[in-house]
């Protein structure tokens, strides 16, 4: 009987997946073990989306529109960023809505100046507008 209990316990332990140890997961634990427990073990997540996540998604959207439809990526980013202005986002200490707007504009303008000319398959430069 004891062997059966030990074997069942071992099977139960084997059935539980070993967590993937990413840099962010380890960093969260080292920063605050309680935060780690709440986030990874209890599954509690922030209700407010990260501004940097939204920023990245909109830069991606702007570039996709550039390659698909030959639409100015800076204008697309500006329009979409303006559309989410009223949504509550979680900003890092160094970022704000305005600073991310400027960063997005500069990033996409730099793309148009330096990278777009290297890949003219279906794209355009800002001068083509």
Q: Are 62 and 74 in contact (CB under 8 A)?
A: yes
- Rounded Cα gap, residues 29 and 13, in angstroms: 22
What pLDDT was estimated at residue 64? 94
Count the Cβ atoms, other than its own, within 10 Å of residue 94: 6
Strands (DSSP E) found in the chain: 49-50, 89-90
- Rounded Cα gap, residues 92 and 4, in angstroms: 53
Predicted confidence pLDDT, tens digits, the chain (129 residues): 455 545 555 555 555 566 677 877 888 888 888 888 888 888 887 777 899 999 999 999 999 999 999 999 999 999 999 999 988 899 999 999 999 999 999 999 999 999 888 876 555 555 555
- Rounded Cα gap, residues 6 and 50, in angstroms: 45
- Rounded Cα gap, residues 59 and 96, in angstroms: 16
What pLDDT was estimated at residue 101? 97
Domain residue extents for the chain: 2-41, 49-128
């Amino acid at each position: 009987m004891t062997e059966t209990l030990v074997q069942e316990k071992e099977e139960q332990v084997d059935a539980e997946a070993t967590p993937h140890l990413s840099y962010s997961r380890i960093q969260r634990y080292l920063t605050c073990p309680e935060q780690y427990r709440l986030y990874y073990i209890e599954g509690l997540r922030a209700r407010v989306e990260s501004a940097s996540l939204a920023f990245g998604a909109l830069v991606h959207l702007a570039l996709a529109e550039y390659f698909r439809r030959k639409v100015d990526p800076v204008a697309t980013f500006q329009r979409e960023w303006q559309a989410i202005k009223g949504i509550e986002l979680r900003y890092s200490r160094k970022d704000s809505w305005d600073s991310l707007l400027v960063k997005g504009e500069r990033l996409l303008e730099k793309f148009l100046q330096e990278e777009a000319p290297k890949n003219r398959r279906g794209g355009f430069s800002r001068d083509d507008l």
